[in-house]
Structure 1
C-alpha cells in the first residue's frame, strides 16, 4: 500500500466510523445526526465520484471508500426523512419536496464542477467545501437543539480525524494524482480542524454538565 492509499484509507475509516455512529444515534435518539444540507451534498458527491472514480481509476481505494460512504449515507438519509419532519417547520409535501429538489440541485452542482475542474480537483475542492460547511452546521445544530441530542464525541472525533488525514496527505505530503502539495486544501483543512476542535470541546463540556447533573440528583 502506498502512502497516498494509506492516508485515503485512514480518511475513509474515520468518516465511516462517524457515519455508522450517526446512523446508530439517529435511530436511538429518533432524529438525524448529520445536518441535511451537507448530508445531501455529501450523498450526491459520493454517488457522483464513486461512478466517475470507477470509470477513471477502476477499483481504487478511493472508489471503494466512496461506495461504502454511499451505503451508510442511505441509512442516514432514511433517518432524516423518518424523524426530521418534527424539526423542520413545513408541511409534509413541502418537507419532502424541498429535500428532493435540493438533492437534484446538488447532483447538478457536482456534475458541472466535475466538468469544470476534472475528477481529482473537483472531488477535492467540493469535498473539502462540504466538510467546511458541515463543521459550522454541527455547531449550529448543537445550539439549535440546546445540547448534544443526536450527536456524539465519536462522530466529532472521527470526522476530525478523517478530515485531518486527507489534509495531511493533500496539503502537506502531496499526492501525484492531485498534482503535488495543495496549499488551498491545507488552509481549508486547518480551518476545519480548528472548528472541529471547538465542536469537540462543546460536546465534552455538555457531557461533563450532564454527569454533574446526574450526580447532583442521585
Structure 2
C-alpha cells in the first residue's frame, strides 16, 4: 500500500512537486526516461544490452521496491518510479535475450541466468534491509548508491564493448544519464536535508553525487571517443581500398 498526500498537504514543503528544487529533479527524471529510451533503441539495433549486468540487476531491484514496496508521498514521483520500472523490464529482456553470448568470462556465460537472478535477489534484499535499518526515506540514499555502482561499472563496460564493436553503447544515453542524475542530485539535497535531520548532515550524499558526476563525465568522454573512432573506420577502409582499385 502506498499512502499519498493531497496537494494541500505537501504544498510549500519538501514534497511539493512545484517547489523549484523538485521541478529540477522532475526534469532529471525525464532525462532518465530518455536515457532508457536511447539505451533500448541502440540495444535492439545492435542486438545487445546497454547497461552493465550488475547495474541492471541492482537498478531493477531498486525500481521494484520504489514502485511496489516503499511508500511514496508524492503521486508524481511514484508515477516516475513505475515508468522506470516498466521501461527497465525492456532492458532486462534485452539482457536475457542477448547477454549470454556477449559474456567474456566462461563461468558467467555458463551460469548466466543464475547469476542474473541471484544478483537481482541479493540486491533487492540488501536495498530493503538498508531502507529499514537506516530509515532511508523513499529509498533515496539507496538509489544513489546503486547509481554510483552503475557509473563506475559503465567505464569497464565501455572498455569491454570496444572489443565487441561498441555494441549497445549510446552517446545520447550517456549525456541523458548524467543530466538526469545531476537534476535529482540537486533535488535530493534539499528533500533529504529538509526531512532527515537524524542523518547529521549530507556529507555522504554529497560524496555519492560528486562521484557519480565525475564518473558520468568520464563515461561520456570514453563513449564519445569510441563513437568517433568507429565513425572513422569506414573512411580508413575506403582509403585503403582506393589504391588497390587504381593499381588494378
TM-score, normalized by the shorter chain, greater than 0.5: yes
| CA distance 1:206–1:153, shift in 2 (3 Å) | same
Structure 1: 4+ residue segments shifted above 6 A: none
Aligned position for 1:60 = 75
Instruction: Kindly state the Cα deviation for residue 183 of structure 1 after the two structures are TM-superposed.
Output: 3.0
Q: What does residue range 15-34 of structure 1 map to in structure 2 within 5 Å? A: 15-34=32-51
Which structure has the larger Rg? 2
Match of 1:5 among 4, 10, 22: 22
Secondary structure of the equivalent of 2:63? helix
CA offset digits 1:1-42 (Å, max 9, x no partner): 222431231221111111111111221111110111111111
CA offset digits 1:34-54 (Å, max 9, x no partner): 11111111111011012244x
User: Structure 1 length as normaliser, TM-score?
Assistant: 0.88
| CA distance 1:213–1:96, shift in 2 (3 Å) | closer
| CA distance 1:46–1:174, shift in 2 (3 Å) | closer
Aligned position for 2:168 = 150
Instruction: Kindly state the Cα deviation for residue 132 of structure 1 after the two structures are TM-superposed.
Output: 0.8
Question: Structure 1 unaligned runs (5+)?
Answer: none
CA offset digits 1:115-135 (Å, max 9, x no partner): 112242x62221111111111
Instruction: Kindly state the Cα deviation for residue 175 of structure 1 after the two structures are TM-superposed.
Output: 5.1
Question: Structure 2 unaligned runs (5+)?
Answer: 1-17, 239-248
Secondary structure of the equivalent of 1:118? coil
| CA distance 1:178–1:64, shift in 2 (3 Å) | farther
Match of 2:144 among 119, 123, 128: 128
Distance (Å, rounded) in 1 between the aligned partners of 2:62 and 2:158? 25
Distance (Å, rounded) in 1 between the aligned partners of 2:124 and 2:190? 30
Aligned position for 1:109 = 126
Q: What does residue range 69-108 of structure 1 map to in structure 2 within 5 Å? A: 69-88=84-103, 89-90=106-107, 94-108=111-125
- CA-atom RMSD, angstroms? 2.3
Match of 2:233 among 202, 205, 213: 213
Mapped contact 1:169–1:175 kept (Cα < 8 A):
no
Distance (Å, rounded) in 2 between the aligned partners of 1:92 and 1:199? 25
Instruction: Kindly state the Cα deviation for residue 174 of structure 1 after the two structures are TM-superposed.
Output: 6.5
Secondary structure of the equivalent of 2:169? coil
Distance (Å, rounded) in 2 between the aligned partners of 1:91 and 1:193? 30
| CA distance 1:151–1:178, shift in 2 (3 Å) | farther
Alignment of 1:202 onto 2:217: no
| CA distance 1:115–1:173, shift in 2 (3 Å) | closer
